[in-house]
C-alpha cells in the first residue's frame, strides 16, 4: 500500500479533521486512526505515546484471523468446515457429557451458533491447566443444538484456533505468515498463550495497526493481494456476509447488523473486525474505504457508536469519486493519550495535602492512604494487602510509569508472572470542590483502566474504585470509607 493525499482519493482533508476533532471531543481514549481508500493510505495518526511500530493488543479482532486460517485450511482440504468439532478433538470431546457440544460443526462455531447459549465459564477465574479440555468438560451453558441461535461464545473461537494449531503443527500466526502475512509485509505479529500451550486465539493478537489495515485490504480484495488470489474468494464472501442474525430486538444498531465467520457486519453493506475496547478494521466495499481504529474505551458504552457512527456520518457520507482541491485550512493538532478534563486546581488540595487517612475494612484491603500535591503533579500513596504503593498523576497531563501492582499475567493469560508490572498513564481532575478523580490507563500487552474517586466531608473520606480490565485490577474494585488519622 502507498500514501496519497485525501483529496486525490475524493476525501476532503477538512472532513478528516472534523472526524479527528469529533474523536478528541468525545471523551475517548484513542491510540491510532488510519483511513485508506483503495491501495492508498490517505490518513495515519498515532496518539502519544503510541507509534507506528507499537504491537497493539487487538482483543477479539484475533477471532477474525482464526477464521482466515480456517479458510486457508479448508482450501487445502485439511479441514472440513462441516465436520463436527469432535473429529478434531476426539479425546477431549469424548469427555463431554453433552451431545450438542460434540456435534457442533466448525462452520457453526465460526458463526457463533454453538451449543453454548452463554459461552463456557470464565476461564480466568477457573485458572484451568488446559483451556481446550475445560471447554469440552464445562457444561455451564450447553443446552440446545448448534447451528441455530447466535450467542457470542468466545471460548468456542479459542478452540477453533487450537484446531488450527493441531492440524498444522504451527502456531496460528506462524501458519498465517506462511500463507499470506509475509506477502503483505506484516512484521512482528504474534499471539499470547493460554494454559495448555495454545495460542490465545480469541483475544490476544498483538499487531501493528498498519498491518491490520493490510489484512482488511486483503479481505476487501476478496482474498487477493497484488493480483494473486491467495484465499478462496467464495470463502471470503461467505465469511464477510450476513450468515447469522444478531438482532435480538430488531433495533438498527451496531450490535444487530449480522455476523459472518468470526467477522461482524455493520452499516452500508460493510463488515468489520471488532475487538474489546474499540479495536476496529471497518471495511466498506461500496466506497472501497477502510477505517482502522485502536484505543482502550473499556467501560465507555457510547464509544463504539461515537467511533463508527461518526465515521459513517462525517467521513463515509462525504466521499466522492472526484479529485478535490487541496485543503488549505488549519492543520491537525498534536494528538496525545486521553487525559481527564475538568478543574485542575481546587482549595481541597490545601486541606488534604500530606494528610493520612485511615480506612475501615474494605474490598480493596487498603488500610491507609496519603495524597500529596506539587504544582501540576500529585501522588496517591496507599497500603494494601501486598504493601505500600504509589500512583503518580498529573493535572492536564498523564504521568507515565509502571503500575505498582506486581505479578499480573504476561505471555500466558490467567497465569501470574512474578516481577511483571504493566506500563500505565495517570491523570486527575477535581469534579467538584470536595472530590478528586484519578484515572489510570494500563497501556501494555494488556489494556485496562481504573477510576479512583475520593469524596471528602470534614474529616471523613469515601473512596470508590472502578476497574475495566479483563483479568487484572481485581484488587482495585469497591468502596471504602475512613477518617483523617
pLDDT at 30 exceeding the cut of 80: yes
The Cα–Cα gap between 257 and 394 comes to 41
In our burial notation (b when 16+ CB lie closer than 10 A, e otherwise), range 216-228 reads: bbbbbbbbbbeee
Torsion of CA 336, 337, 340, 341, to 10 degrees: 20
What is the average pLDDT score of the chain? 95
Band of residue 249 on the pLDDT scale cut at 50, 70, 90: confident
**331 CB-contact burial (10 Å; exposed 0-12 / middle 13-18 / buried 19+):** exposed
Torsion of CA 98, 99, 100, 104, to 10 degrees: 120
In our burial notation (b when 16+ CB lie closer than 10 A, e otherwise), range 129-164 reads: ebbbbbbbbbbebbeeebbeebbebbbbbbbbbbbb
What is the grid cell recorded at 201?
A: 486465539
Main-chain dihedrals φ then ψ at residue 204, nearest 5 degrees? -130, 40
Question: What is the mean predicted confidence (pLDDT) over 15-21?
Answer: 97
Calculate the CA 362 to chain-centre distance.
30
Q: How many CB atoms lie within 10 A of CB 243?
A: 19
Torsion of CA 470, 471, 472, 478, to 10 degrees: 80
If DSSP states are collapsed to H, E and C, what string results for 236-270?
A: HHHHCCCCECCCCCCCCCCCCCCECCCCEEECCCE
The Cα–Cα gap between 210 and 228 comes to 21
In our burial notation (b when 16+ CB lie closer than 10 A, e otherwise), range 361-373 reads: ebebebbebbbbb
Q: What is the pLDDT of residues 398-421, one digit of tens each?
A: 999 999 999 999 999 999 999 999
The Cα–Cα gap between 229 and 381 comes to 58
How high is the pLDDT of residue 121? 63
Architecture in CATH of 2-318: 3-Layer(aba) Sandwich (3.40)
Domains 2-318 and 348-484 alike in fold:
no
CA-closest candidate to residue 156, choices 91, 106, 206:
106
Q: What is the pLDDT of residues 147-202, one digit of tens each?
A: 998 989 999 999 999 999 999 999 999 999 999 999 999 999 999 999 999 999 99
Q: How many CB atoms lie within 10 A of CB 302?
A: 12
Question: What are the angstrom distances between the C-alpha of 16 and each of 94, 256, 314, 318?
Answer: 54, 27, 8, 10
Query: Which H/E stretch holds residue 182?
Result: helix 182-184
Band of residue 362 on the pLDDT scale cut at 50, 70, 90: very high
CA-closest candidate to residue 315, choices 51, 28, 21:
21
Band of residue 131 on the pLDDT scale cut at 50, 70, 90: very high
Q: How many CB atoms lie within 10 A of CB 2?
A: 8
Give the chain's end-to-end CA distance (angstroms, integer): 62
Domain ranges of the chain: 2-318, 348-484
How high is the pLDDT of residue 122? 78
The Cα–Cα gap between 25 and 269 comes to 28
pLDDT at 117 exceeding the cut of 90: no
Q: How many CB atoms lie within 10 A of CB 298?
A: 20
Q: In the block, which residue shows the cell 488549519? A: 330
Express as a percent the part of the chain with pLDDT over 70. 98
pLDDT at 118 exceeding the cut of 60: no
> Is residue 70 helix, strand or coil?
helix
What is the grid cell recorded at 466?
A: 472502578
How high is the pLDDT of residue 141? 61
Band of residue 142 on the pLDDT scale cut at 50, 70, 90: low
Main-chain dihedrals φ then ψ at residue 72, nearest 5 degrees? -65, -45
Q: What is the pLDDT of residues 261-292, one digit of tens each?
A: 999 999 999 999 999 999 999 999 999 999 99
Lowest mean pLDDT among 122-126, 318-322, 327-331, 464-468: 122-126
Q: Spell out the CATH class of 348-484.
A: mainly beta
pLDDT at 126 exceeding the cut of 90: no
Band of residue 124 on the pLDDT scale cut at 50, 70, 90: confident
Question: What is the mean predicted confidence (pLDDT) over 100-116?
Answer: 93
Enumerate residues 6+ apart whose C-beta is below 8 A from 108.
114, 146, 147
The Cα–Cα gap between 437 and 455 comes to 9
Question: What are the angstrom distances between the C-alpha of 105 and each of 18, 79, 97, 143, 165?
Answer: 46, 11, 17, 16, 17
What is the grid cell recorded at 458?
A: 470534614
Amino acid at each position: 500500500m502507498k500514501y496519497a493525499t485525501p483529496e486525490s482519493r475524493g476525501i476532503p482533508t477538512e472532513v478528516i479533521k472534523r472526524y479527528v476533532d469529533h474523536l478528541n471531543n468525545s471523551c475517548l481514549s484513542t491510540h491510532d486512526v488510519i483511513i485508506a481508500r483503495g491501495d492508498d493510505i490517505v490518513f495515519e495518526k498515532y496518539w502519544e505515546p503510541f507509534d507506528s511500530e507499537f504491537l497493539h493488543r487487538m482483543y477479539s479482532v484475533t477471532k477474525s484471523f482464526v477464521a482466515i486460517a480456517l479458510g486457508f485450511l479448508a482450501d487445502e482440504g485439511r479441514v472440513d468446515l462441516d465436520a463436527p468439532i469432535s473429529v478434531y478433538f476426539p479425546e477431549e470431546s469424548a469427555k463431554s457429557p453433552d451431545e450438542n457440544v460434540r456435534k457442533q460443526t466448525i462452520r457453526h462455531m465460526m458463526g457463533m451458533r454453538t451449543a453454548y447459549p452463554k459461552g463456557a465459564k470464565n476461564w480466568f477465574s477457573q485458572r484451568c491447566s488446559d483451556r481446550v479440555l475445560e471447554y469440552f468438560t464445562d457444561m455451564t451453558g450447553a443446552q440446545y443444538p448448534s447451528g441455530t441461535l447466535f450467542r457470542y461464545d468466545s471460548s468456542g473461537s479459542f478452540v477453533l484456533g487450537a484446531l488450527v494449531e493441531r492440524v498444522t503443527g504451527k502456531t496460528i500466526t506462524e501458519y498465517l505468515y506462511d500463507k499470506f502475512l509475509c506477502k503483505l509485509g506484516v512484521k512482528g505479529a504474534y499471539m499470547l498463550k493460554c494454559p495448555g500451550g495454545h495460542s490465545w486465539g480469541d483475544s490476544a493478537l498483538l499487531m501493528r495497526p498498519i498491518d491490520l489495515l493490510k489484512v482488511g485490504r486483503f479481505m476487501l480484495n476478496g482474498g487477493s493481494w497484488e493480483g494473486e488470489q491467495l484465499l478462496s474468494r467464495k470463502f471470503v464472501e461467505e465469511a464477510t456476509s450476513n450468515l447469522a442474525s444478531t438482532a435480538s430486538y430488531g433495533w438498527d444498531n451496531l450490535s444487530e447488523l449480522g455476523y459472518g465467520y468470526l467477522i461482524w457486519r455493520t452499516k452500508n453493506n460493510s463488515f468489520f473486525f471488532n475487538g474489546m475496547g474499540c479495536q476496529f478494521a471497518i471495511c466498506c466495499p461500496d466506497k472501497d474505504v477502510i477505517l482502522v481504529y485502536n484505543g482502550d474505551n473499556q467501560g465507555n458504552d457510547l464509544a463504539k457508536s461515537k467511533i463508527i457512527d461518526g465515521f459513517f456520518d462525517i467521513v463515509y457520507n462525504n466521499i466522492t469519486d472526484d479529485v478535490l482541491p487541496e485543503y488549505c485550512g488549519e492543520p491537525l493538532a498534536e494528538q496525545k493519550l486521553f487525559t481527564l478534563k475538568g478543574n485542575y486546581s481546587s482549595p481541597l488540595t490545601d486541606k488534604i495535602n500530606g494528610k493520612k487517612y485511615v480506612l475501615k475494612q474494605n474490598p480493596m484491603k487498603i488500610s491507609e492512604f496519603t495524597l500529596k500535591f506539587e504544582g501540576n503533579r500529585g501522588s496517591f500513596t496507599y497500603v494494601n494487602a501486598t504493601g505500600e504503593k504509589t500512583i503518580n498523576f498529573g493535572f492536564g497531563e498523564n504521568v507515565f510509569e509502571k503500575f505498582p501492582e506486581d505479578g499480573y499475567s504476561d505471555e500466558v493469560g490467567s497465569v501470574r508472572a512474578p516481577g511483571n508490572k504493566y506500563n500505565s498513564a495517570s491523570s486527575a481532575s477535581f469534579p467538584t470542590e470536595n472530590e478528586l478523580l484519578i484515572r489510570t490507563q494500563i497501556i501494555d500487552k494488556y489494556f485496562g483502566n481504573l477510576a479512583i474517586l475520593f469524596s471528602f466531608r470534614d474529616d471523613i473520606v469515601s473512596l470508590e474504585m472502578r476497574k475495566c480490565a479483563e483479568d487484572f485490577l481485581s484488587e482495585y474494585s469497591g468502596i471504602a470509607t475512613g477518617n483523617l488519622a
